[in-house]
Chains A and B, each alone.
Chain A
Amino acid sequence: MPEKCSRQQIVLGESRTLYGIGVSPGIVMATARVLRRQTSSAAWRKVSRDQQKGEVQRFMAAVARAEQELTELRGHIAGDLGDALSIIDSHLLILKDRMFLDRTVEIIRSQSINAEWALATALGRIKKKFDAMDDAYIRQRFQDVKYVADRLFGALSGRAEDLLAGDGDHGVVIGHDFSPEDILAMQDCNVQGFVTEEGGITSHTAIVARSLGIPAIVGLKDATCICGTGDGVILDGFSGRLHINPTADQVQQYQEYDRQHRCYTRELVAYTRLSSETLDGYRVRLSGNIEMVSEADSVRQYGGEGIGLFRSEFDFFAKQELPDEKSLTAAYGHLLELFAPATVTIRTLDVGGDKFSARLPGNAFHLDLERNPALGLRSIRYSLRERSLFTMQLRALLRASVRGRLRILFPMISSLAELRQAKKILAGVRHELAKEHIPYDPHVEIGIMVEVPSAVMLADILAGEVDFFSIGTNDLIQYSLAIDRGNQYVAHMYEPLHPAVLRMIRQTVEAAHAQGIEIAMCGEMAGDVACAPVLLGLGLDELSMRASAIPHVRRLLRMSRYRQLVKLADDVLACSEAVEVRNYLTRYLPSHYEVDFIRS
């Protein structure tokens, strides 16, 4: 409790550092302002029978006011802050929830007590239910119920719920806890950063801070008593450190760090427009991974040279009905035109595993039966079985191919027979289209995802049958290390820099190049700045990643020499343990690329 601790033990002006959880990156050097919310203690008051109706009305008026406040706040939020919108929407749902609203009214009536006490009682019951849960993530969602309750208590007491009322410059605000709504309101008051005593990295408050770009630290115990209004502070949202009354050295160090970070961010913008080549002219292609055609814009903004992976599942999941050939042809054609003459790689339907849809034929049935879905009827296996759906997608792809430069990617190929079967179906579709006099591009390139260890072992054979390879690291790591990343007990063993994974990548690259075909990587690893230099040194021709990672990777590439990248890959491949690889990179990367990777 803030009131209990005293500032007397702390020498005024003494410099000290507190450690919390950095949830929203950035550095702020400013004056602190400690905010204490008036917590209205819910006094117990008997309400007589004839007063009951009035008390319920008073409560309902408070609900209406809280609803109005939330709705108004929602109206002010820019449309691109989707996370913030959905958080407020869920708070509106909680406000009107039966367990909350009806229960409070019922308690007012049955126990003849005041609204505050009834609300506190209802809240206590909900808390008990949440406390009993095993899942820490869901347990934490009680915080949202509490934010809504606080707003209601405020409305009941009749006081204005304006934390930040008053003078202009707020610097860094420090409080016990802030709701997502508080953070949205801070945006209008020049608040540069905030610190809370409660909260974790997955809290909704943290999510909103990140999407607004307000640096923040949460979970900093006793921050409101140790720090006082008017203290000079440095808030480091990267590491979660709060320096109170910093020393001259600390200030200087942070000014330098802040300058570097700003330079880096500014510098990155330039890299969206430069070519993807090393200092000595070695070129690769950096492209984007997308799920929806609407994401294509952001790939272009970040300087992506084409689409290295279009996950085509979304079109099949998004609507009530399955898409038809005509709508798919139009969507694919549009995407191809957007990037022409650059290539667009579209992966055929990759369902199953962690990607289910009850609407796809047969899928709901298989989902119910499968005990080991990652090894079950998924991806190309599903397409080869649900032949008409697969044929329809291939027809749409080929019909769209005349509008740009298409590459078709078959996922999860694990044997030559499977690849030949898929190619045979594609040949059939080509034949059909020719017979119907429907034009298509005869030079469409065909490739496979290399994401099953058997495909790595057979890479030399498979390379002779396709135009390109694309390594899918997420599945390749899962299958080769036998790790389910969704399982909290083994997830820490999921390691992209595992020597076994690196050797498989090298083997696949060598097999592709021996046959003279291109090899890309489209897994998460390709956009990881710690891995990218190694991958470039291994000789991958294309790295495809989420759009925002493209300038980061391009910067690394443009600061490198090809020979130096090859040597890095050789050195790393000589390591026998992942931890050795990581240690090597921790030393190597900052000295070669002038950036502290752990922090940025």
Chain B
Amino acid sequence: MNREREITVGVHCGVHGRVAAELARLVRTKKAGLEIITPERSADCGSILEILALGISRGSRIRVRANGPDAGSLLEQACSLLIGTGAGA
């Protein structure tokens, strides 16, 4: 199964340490691969360093692609992580 979505990154400081770590950890729990594609580069989300090296900041438009039996749920969870669920007054 191959799934893809285009989203706007909403997490507050961009894709920094914690979100990158959560993404890399999420990929390990799924039977699927995950790729983030920016206009310039792409990264395999199995590697926290590749994700960090993309240097994605808040508000960036990115494509997220999942591949494998768990692609559907992986893509959904990864997107909600990247879109972000912060809160403020």
Contact = CB atoms under 8 A, between A and B. Distances in A.
Interface of A: 86-87, 89-90, 93-94, 97-100, 126, 129-130, 132-135, 137-139, 141, 144-145, 204, 289, 291, 309, 311, 313-314, 317, 350, 354-359, 364, 367-368, 472-475, 486, 522-524
Interface of B: 6-8, 10, 12-18, 20-21, 24-25, 44, 46-50, 52-53, 55, 57-58, 76, 79-80, 83-89
Contacts of B84: 354, 356
A317 B83 contact: no
Given A135-B57, A311-B87, A311-B89, A141 B17 contact: yes
B48 A137 contact: no
B87 A93 contact: no
A94 B49 contact: yes
Contacts, number: 109
B16 A138 contact: yes
B48 A357 contact: no
Contacts of A289: 89
A376 to B, nearest CB: 13
A139 B57 CA distance: 12
B83 A97 contact: no
Given A354-B86, A358-B83, A137 B13 contact: yes
Contacts of B49: 94, 97-100, 126, 129, 145
Contacts of B88: 354-355, 474
A491 to B, nearest CB: 13
Contacts of B80: 357-359
Nearest to A89: B21
A90 B86 contact: no
B16 A355 contact: no
B18 A355 contact: no
Given A355-B87, A357-B85, A358-B80, A130 B16 contact: no
24 contacts: A90-B17, A90-B20, A90-B48, A98-B44, A98-B50, A99-B49, A126-B49, A130-B53, A133-B55, A135-B57, A138-B14, A139-B55, A141-B17, A144-B17, A291-B87, A311-B89, A317-B85, A354-B10, A355-B87, A357-B80, A357-B83, A367-B83, A368-B8, A472-B89
Given A99-B49, A133-B53, A141-B16, A364 B83 contact: yes
A94 B57 CA distance: 21
A317 B58 CA distance: 19
Given A99-B50, A145-B49, A311-B89, A356 B16 contact: no
Contacts of A475: 89
A138 B55 contact: yes
A129 B24 contact: no
B14 A93 contact: no
Contacts of B21: 86, 89-90, 93
Contacts of A358: 76, 79-80, 83
Interface centre among A87, A93, A137, A357 (most CB of B within 10 A): A93
Contacts of A364: 79, 83
Nearest to B81: A358
Given A97-B47, A141-B16, A358-B83, A309 B89 contact: yes
Contacts of A474: 88-89
A137 B18 contact: no
A416 to B, nearest CB: 23
A493 B14 CA distance: 22
B48 A356 contact: no
A135 B6 contact: no
Contacts of A130: 52-53
Contacts of A359: 80
A348 to B, nearest CB: 14
Given A135-B57, A367-B10, 15 more contacts: A90-B20, A93-B24, A98-B44, A126-B49, A130-B52, A137-B16, A138-B55, A141-B16, A141-B52, A144-B17, A289-B89, A357-B85, A358-B76, A367-B8, A486-B12
